[in-house]
């Protein structure tokens, strides 16, 4: 399995904090950055998934209530 390589700029205080955590835990940068990204995505994606589910449910409710099912308009507007 291949993994993409990301390069980004970060403030010195973030790098210093990361270096401190790496030195204290003995785990590498990739470990800590992967965990941080996983936590960030979990936090950010949860409400977005809820919005998508709510939109889908609203569309399903509209179809049930009106009997409308417009196959020519997949957006449902």
d(CA 10, CA 19): 12
Sorted by where each begins, the domain ranges of the chain are: 29-64
- Length, in residues, of the chain: 77
Distance CA 60, CA 12 (A): 49
Residue ranges in the chain modelled with pLDDT below 50: 77
- 76 backbone dihedrals φ, ψ, rounded to 5°: 85, 20
What is the per-residue pLDDT for 39? 97
Helix, coil or strand: residue 6: coil
Q: Using CA atoms, how far apart are residues 73 and 77, in angstroms rounded to an integer?
A: 7
pTM here? 0.62
Q: In the prediction, which pLDDT does 22 show?
A: 98
């Amino acid at each position: 399995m291949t993994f993409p390589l990301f390069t980004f700029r970060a403030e010195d205080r973030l790098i210093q904090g990361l270096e401190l955590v790496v030195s204290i835990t003995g785990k590498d940068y990739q470990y800590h950055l992967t965990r941080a990204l996983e936590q960030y995505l979990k936090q950010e994606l949860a409400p977005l998934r809820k919005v998508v589910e709510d939109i889908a449910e609203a569309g399903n409710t509209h179809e049930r209530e009106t009997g409308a099912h417009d196959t020519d308009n997949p957006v449902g507007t």
